[in-house]
Every structure is written in structure tokens, then in C-alpha cells.
Amino acid sequence: MPISEHQLICNGKYEILRLLGEGGQSRVWLAREVKRGLEVAIKEPLPVLSPVEREELEMRYQRELRLSGRIFKLEVPNVVRVLTVDDHEGEMLLVMEYCAGGSLEDRLKRGPLPVDEAVRIALEVLAALHVAHEKLGIVHRDIKPSNVLFTEDGHAKLADFGLAQTGESGRSMGASQAHPGTPGYKSPEQERTLGYLNPASDLYALGCVLFEMVTGKMYQRVRPGTKASSLCADTPGWLDAALEKALQEDVWERYETAEEMARALGAEVREAGAARIAAEARVVEEKRQEQARPEQEERRKAEAADGTAEEGIRRKAVEAGVPEAMKTTDDVSEGEMVLESVPRVVQTKPRFRSPLTVVGPLLVLAGFGISFSGYFYVSLSALVLGLVLLLAARLSRPKSGSTNGEDGDAKGDRARRYWTWIAVGGAIWVIGWVVDWSFGGNVEWAIGWAIVGVIGGVAAIWRLNKERG
């Protein structure tokens, strides 16, 4: 007796909830396992099958259960798990994991998918095929949209290994039976040859599915070699190239393994994704700068009003009598003023605290005292005074980049004042005293010229200070 909705089957083990879909040989029901409350999918053979067809279908159920157990041991996440086979009134049923997201066939009824989503689904199917091909030696032979199911969160899973070619299939080059499969998705060798298929056959079928996901049209119903971009303008060139390789008529011109095809698709997806992310980041940054611009303008106005902008600082510095205003520079990226130095007060009339202010006059008076002994001491005085002048000039020379409380310019001004005092005063005394002595001068005249020299040096310093403000 055929199964119907709200029926309890298998001795009350399962409650039928609703019909999920129907194929050429079976229909699939959504059921609830009563004991655990677990939702499962139950596949039931159609009543119209002949005894031979029914027997073949039951053999497929048994094969799928065995393969599912082997795959489950490898913890493959992208394969629909077969839980068990059960019996209802003499009819064998296949109990499977329920995928609440429906099938790819259902999705394609609403139209083609975005390229990113189509490639993601293909990559998840390739992950299942990689394990089946490389670790179990299985060729699925029935890759099609109705065998790609989705979990509730949208991940793709490959279903129905009932037609899979295994090592126990017993095929040879002389086999008389054609390969099973679904027309429109069979590879050329699956259609035309009888011997063992290799993994490239499944990759051709997946290429057909990927083409259909992107364009909404079955590949084998369009002209061979048609590019997906000619039917869907959004198809990128790299996907055209990947499909061209997967859909080659010659099996040896296709991708050899699922891993190779996945690597090609994944690399292109990552590159395209990185370019898209970079473009989106540029747009976000431009918007951020645009939104920040009014705030920056308001900040500049506030700084100018508060006297913290450059012009305000200079104005306040001038009002305070500071000759050198604060230096600022514009930070172009943020539009903010950055301080490069702090205000500093420079003495316009430095106080002379150098030892030269005392040593200079003492040396002048010492030379005067030595001159009482005669012409020899006159010459000695002049020589000593000359050496002292040279030493004073040397010691008072400003050092570039000095940091001892004054910069080079300030020390240079002080040195020039010392030099002027000693040079002018000393020169007046030496020249006046020597000339006077030559004409028979005496001690009083020598003292007088020394006083005149000191006064002349002071007068020269006063004049220099006045010129420099």
C-alpha cells in the first residue's frame, strides 16, 4: 500500500509529514522519527515499477547505504548521509538525512544564481567528489541539480550515490550495459562507452551544472562550446575559461581531479574577492573623509576663534612682546595644526657675565703697569695685549647648534660685543700711549689714554646695542 501524509509506517516508527518530491523511480517524503523526534527524508519506490526495476532499485538502496557508511567514517561534511534501510509492508525504504534547504533543482526554477553563489556551491560539491574519487575510488555518475541538496544554513551536499561506479561494479571494455545516469548531464564517454569511467566524467557533469547555475540553461541544449558570458553578461572571463576546460569533449583535456578544478575556481574567487574588498574599502574611506570634512572645517574655525590656530598664536605672541612666534605646520591628512616649537623669549640686551668682562680691563691695566720700565715693556705690553685679544676672539666664537641656554645667533651677538669692547678700547689705548710716549709723554698721559680706551669700548658697545634694538 503506497505511503500517504499523516500515516504511521514501519510499525509506528515514522510519521509521514508531507511529500518533498518525486523522480522517475521514487518519491521522497518528509517524516518524523517518533522515538527521537528527528526529521528524516524517506525514499519510496513508485508503484508503477516492474518487479525487475524494483529489484534494481532495492540493490541501489543497499549500495548507497554501504557507500554512505564508508563516507561517514571519513567525516565528509558535503555528502547527504544515509541512515538506514527499513521495510513497510514488504516495500524497502531508504531513510536519509533531511536537508531543510531544498534542492538546487528547486532554486533554478526561480532563475540563474549570482556567480559568487554558483561557484561556492560548485566548490562544496567538489569537496565531496574529492573524497569519493581519491579515497574511495568512486565515480558518482549522476551529478545533477536534483542531487545537490542544501542544509538549513545554505551549505550544499551531494546526494544519491545509488548509481555510483565502484570497484565492485564489474565493468570492462567489453561490458554490454550502458552507463546509468541522467540525460543532459552525462559526459560524452558516459554516453558512448561501456568501460570504466574516470573522475573527469563527474567533473564534466558538474561543469554542466555550474553552467546551468550561471545561465539558467542546460549546457547540452545549447550549441557546443557556447560561453556562459554570451548568455549571462555578468559571467567573468575566468569562469568562462574554467567552464571551457571542464566541458571539453576529450576526457584528457579536462581537469584531471576535483582538487585541480577546485584550486582553479577557488584561486579566481579569492582574487576577485580581494579586488572587490579593496574597491569597497576605497568607497568606505572616501565616504568617511567626506563625512569628516564638515567637522574638520568646524574645528579649524574654533581653533582660529580661540587663538590656537597659527594666526592666533602669532598675534598673541606679538602682543606679549615675543619676537619669534610659534611655528606651525598643516597636517594635510587631518587638517590639524601641529606645534613644532614652543615660544621662547630672547634677551634684546644681554647682560655680560662672561669672564672676559673682568679679564679684559685687568689685562689692559696690567699692560699699562708694565710699561713703566721703558720701551722694552711697551713692546711686551702690546704683544701681551694682542695675544689676549686673539684668545678672547677665539674663546668667544659661537658654536653652531649650541644648546647651552642660547642658540648660535645669541652667542654670536655676545661675542661681537665683547670683541668690540676689547678691540676698540685696547686699540685706542695702545695707539694713543705709543704715540704719546714717542713724544716724551709721562705716566699721567698713559693713565689718561687707558681711561679714554675704556670709555671708547663702552661707547662702541652702546652704539652696537642701539643698532640691534
Task: Categorize the per-residue pLDDT at 327 as very low, low, confident or very high, splitting at 50, 70 and 90.
Answer: very low
**What are the tens digits of pLDDT across the range 238-250?**
999 999 999 999 9
Radius of gyration of the chain (CA): 51
Q: 393-414: b or e for each residue (b if 16 or more CB lie within 10 Å)?
A: eeebebeeeeeeebbeeebbbb
Angle at 266 between CA 263 and CA 269, to 5 degrees: 150
- What pLDDT does 168 receive? 65
Between residues 315 and 109, the one the model is more confident about = 109
Instruction: Decide if 450 contacts 365 (C-beta within 8 A).
Output: yes
Rounded to a whole number of angstroms, the distance between the first and last alpha carbons of the chain is 120
Out of 106, 116, 142, 407, pick the active-site residue.
142
Q: How many residues does the chain have?
A: 469
Model confidence, pTM? 0.57
**Greatest distance between any 2 Cα atoms in the chain:** 158
Element at 318 (helix H, strand E): helix 310-319
- What pLDDT does 440 receive? 61
Known catalytic residue at 106: no
H-helix segments, 39-114: 51-73, 104-108
Taking alpha carbons only, the member of 146, 74, 84 closest to residue 109 is 146
Return the CATH fold of 104-169+179-275: Transferase(Phosphotransferase); domain 1 (1.10.510)
- Domain segments of the chain as ranges: 8-97, 104-169+179-275, 310-345, 356-467
- What pLDDT does 230 receive? 94
State how far the Cα of 195 lies from the Cα of 76, in Å rounded to an integer.
Answer: 28
pLDDT, mean of residues 99-105: 95
Taking alpha carbons only, the member of 351, 388, 382 closest to residue 368 is 382
Q: How do 336-339 and 8-9 pair as beta strands? A: unpaired
- What pLDDT does 115 receive? 94
List, as one string, the DSSP characters of 194-251. -S---THHHHHHHHHHHHHHHHSS-GGGS-TT--GGGT-TT--HHHHHHHHHHT-SSG
**What are the tens digits of pLDDT across the range 184-237?**
999 999 999 888 899 999 999 999 999 999 999 999 999 889 999 999 999 999
Angle at 239 between CA 236 and CA 241, to 5 degrees: 115
Residue 291: pLDDT above 80? no
- What pLDDT does 74 receive? 87
Instruction: Decide if 197 contacts 208 (C-beta within 8 A).
Output: no
Q: Which amino acid is at 194?
A: L
**What are the tens digits of pLDDT across the range 139-197?**
999 999 999 999 999 999 999 998 999 876 555 444 567 889 999 999 999 999 888 89
Other Cβ atoms closer than 10 A to 188: 14
DSSP code at position 103: B
Give the list of residues 6+ apart from residue 339 with CB closer than 8 angstroms, or none: 326, 327, 328
Per DSSP, the three-state class of 82 is: strand
- On whether the 8-97 domain is CATH 3.30.200.20, my answer is yes
**What are the tens digits of pLDDT across the range 60-85?**
999 899 998 898 888 888 999 999 99
The C-alpha cell 545509488 sits at 162
- What pLDDT does 421 receive? 61
Same topology between domain 8-97 and domain 104-169+179-275: no
